[in-house]
Amino acid sequence: MARDPRYDILFEPVKIGPVTAKNRFYQVPHCNGMGHTMPQAVAAMRGVKAEGGWAVICTEECEIHPSSDVAPANEARLWDDRDIPAQARMTEAVHAHGALAGVELVHQGPATANRYSREIPMGPSHLPVTRYDPVQARAMDLSDIRECRRWHRQAALRARKAGFDIIYVYAGHDLSLPMHFLQKRRNQRTDEYGGSLENRARFFRELIEETKEAVGDTCAVVVRLAVDELLGPKGITSAVEGREVIEMLAELPDLWDVNISDWQNDSNTSRFAAEGYQEPYVAFVKKLTSKPVVGVGRFTSPDTMVAQIRGGILDFIGAARPSIADPFLPKKIEDGRPEDIRECIGCNICVSGDNTSTPIRCTQNPTMGEEWRKSWHPEVIAPRASDDTVLVVGAGPAGLECARALGQRGYTVHLAEAGDELGGRVARESRLPGLAAWGRVRDYRVQQLANMANVSLYRDSRLTADHVREFGAARVVVATGAAWRRDGIGRANSEALPGLDGSSVYAPDDIMAGAAPTGPVVVFDDDHFYMGGVLAEKLRRDGLEVTLITPALAASAWTEYTLELQHVQVRLLELGVTIVANRNLIAVDGAHAKIACVFTGRESEIPCASLVTVTARLPEEALYRALLAKPEALANAGIKNVTAIGDALAPSTIAAAVYAGHRYARELDAPAPAPVPFAREMPGEI
């Protein structure tokens, strides 16, 4: 299919100093939870993106020295020459598909406690490290500054030796030493590196100049700068110092990579920010420099991308999360198939990998992080290995992905959904405040299934065990989802709570189905992800008085890993939701909720006309159990096996459900798995 000529501008080559990018698609640096401990996995993941058409593929943060050790986070490293082979794997994988490889060199200064190296952190001034460790950074003297510049230069030379085409000088977020020198609140020096903005930018300037001197004849030198910290006068703003730094250094780098800070703002979720949300902060940059500019904004629409280029905002379409959701996004636009793009839903489950020091994952793309470990490719899947037909029961995220991937393999698939609406929990949750983009999980798969003649879809088809046995499929997949509990059992309570059997007690499923509680409402959040906070927001917007009770330290505590924790608190508090943390629900009596301090056990009561329990879910497993209860009947019906997947087996995230459906489809008719069902990176393999 021919490319839409409206998008031709996206495929123009662009020079970046001494190198040329083949198009305008630029995967900006992003972390992945694999880093220096899993270099083969990183190389394979980045290589797939290059295959998918991204012209520039960058690393995550790459530590330049043991005095900037971010353990337990798994980032890249170029501490010494022994790190070069691991990085060379990545550049080779990227170059194999004609893309440029970029490395984001970083010294985090006072943003890290050096837990692994045990080196004393350094910064512009004597201040505590920016994380919660009870550690202070010492103020750097002039010899320290010279040493740090030397470390950066050495790392740049190692990067060139490893095959990188683009070398970063990093002053983004609140995680880099150059940024800390720029910040008035962290730089309290009175020498030539403190005081005026020109002085505070001196270290930044020196790093750029010395990096260009070291590698600028063969490698592009790129600067990443957070032009606005969203802190007003307390921080760098695009109206004042962010703009002045660009003016001061406008022609020095070969490209400007600009964003906002800190990470929770730069990688804001779709719940709190729309596509292109950074434009108001970075639109001024191209007016001040002749060098190309790249920026981000969770871009998934090619029309928006074109508007950014033609509007003089950006020269490159920067992306981290959209490149994770669909590594082949550029290729699909180029081939005239934009409808096949797996659009990022902006949920930040990918970010949780880095924040938990585990391999990256994606709700939309179940192959992310599995390119090397399981040899999974986002676009290629083995053809069917038998003529078995498959019946998938349930068209939620697990069932839809299972049917889609099986259909792609060439199996004859029958997908039965009990109701009229497809998508299961995704359909229901995407109607909650801020979660509309999550509907893309359903929409992408439904659209793909519509093009598969070998997949049949049956709506309003609630199947019994007899129906399944009579259907005639050789394989049966049960993807019937799960239902929220109403009895209070969850993490904090192992027994049903007194008073939760009344009509004024609601589960999230009830609220999503249109139930209308009366106020005051208590939302008991013992789930700790997004659901409790989203429901509290919905009920408050409905005009009810809402109190959110949680045994955790904050509302929706697990959203710390998706960078939403602060945004959630701000949203709820600004709406007038009362948050009561560190309290467990122990009973309700129809007029009050009885709660207890999780530390002291001290009890108290709060008014409660309606209670919404967000605790745990139970699999909808009745069909699965009924089928397994009669193995002889299965055999007589020609059914080889019955498998439960996703929430019907063990309730989890939407990402886990999609992964489960994809895994079943990949592994059907495959040889028996090894004891460890994925490849492991062992010491000494690089």
The enclosing domain of 459 has a CATH number of: 3.40.50.720
Secondary structure string (H, E, C) spanning 408-472: HHCCEEEEECCCCCCCCHHHHHCCCCCCHHHHHHHHHHHHHHHCCCCEEEECCCCCCHHHHHHHC
Average pLDDT along the chain: 96
Taking the C-alpha atoms of residue 331 and residue 48, their distance in angstroms, rounded to an integer, is 12
Output the six-digit token pair for 208. 């750029």
pLDDT of residue 502: 84
pLDDT computed for residue 685 by the predictor: 75
**432 & 319 share domain:** no
Question: What pLDDT digit, counting tens, does each position of 152-175 carry?
Answer: 999 999 999 999 999 999 998 888
CATH number at 190 reads 3.20.20.70
**Is the dihedral angle over the CA atoms 509, 510, 512, 517 positive or is it negative?**
negative
Residues 137 and 262 in one domain: yes
- Residues facing residue 606 across a β-bridge: 593
Statement to judge: residues 464 and 606 lie in one domain: no
- d(CA 509, CA 429) in angstroms, rounded, equals 9
Mean predicted confidence (pLDDT) in 668-680: 90
Domain CATH code at residue 500? 3.50.50.60
List, in sequence order, the alpha helices (H) in 136-258.
142-162, 177-182, 197-200, 202-215, 241-249
Q: Please check whether residue 147 lies inside any domain of the structure.
A: yes
Q: Which residues contact 508 (CB under 8 A, 6 or more apart)?
A: 484, 531, 535, 612, 614
Task: Kindly state whether residues 72 and 208 are assigned to the same domain.
Answer: yes
> pTM of the entire structure?
0.96
Q: Are residues 159 and 98 located together in one domain of the fold?
A: yes
> Mind telling me the catalytic residues?
31, 170, 173, 266
Name the β-bridge partners of 613.
524
Whether 211 and 276 share a structural domain: yes
* Residue 1 pLDDT exceeds 80: no
SS (H, E, C) 615-655: CCEEECCHHHHHHHCCHHHHHHCCCCEEEECHHHCCCCCHH
Domains of the chain: total: 3
314-337: per-residue pLDDT in tens? 999 999 999 999 999 999 999 999
Residue 685 lies in a domain: no
Tokens for 349? 């489950």
330 and 293 in a common domain: yes
- Is 288 among the domain residues? yes
**Are residues 629 and 594 part of one domain?**
no
Beta strand spans in 449-582 (E): 455-458, 475-478, 482-484, 505-506, 521-525, 546-549, 578-580
Residue 361 lies in a domain: no
Starting at the edge strand that comes first in sequence, how are the strands of the sheet with 455-458 ordered? Answer: 455-458, 412-416, 389-393, 475-478, 641-644
- Look at 236-240, 447-451, 616-620 and tell me which has the smallest mean pLDDT: 236-240
Answer whether residue 407 shows pLDDT above 80. yes
Is residue 2 over pLDDT 90? Answer: no
Together in a domain, 400 and 541: no
Band of residue 577 on the pLDDT scale cut at 50, 70, 90: very high
- Residue-number span of the structural domain to which 88 is assigned: 5-355
Q: Are 325 and 345 in contact (CB under 8 A)?
A: yes
Which helix or strand (DSSP H or E) is residue 47 part of?
Answer: helix 39-51
| Residue 437 and residue 551 in one domain | no
Residue 337: predicted pLDDT: 96
Considering the domain architecture, whether residues 451 and 398 belong to the same structural domain is answered as: yes
**Which residues are within 8 A (CB) of 615 and not within 5 positions of it... i.e. 6 or more apart?**
484, 485, 488, 489, 490, 491, 493, 524, 526, 527
The per-residue pLDDT for range 356-388, each reduced to its tens digit, is 999 999 999 999 999 999 999 999 999 999 999
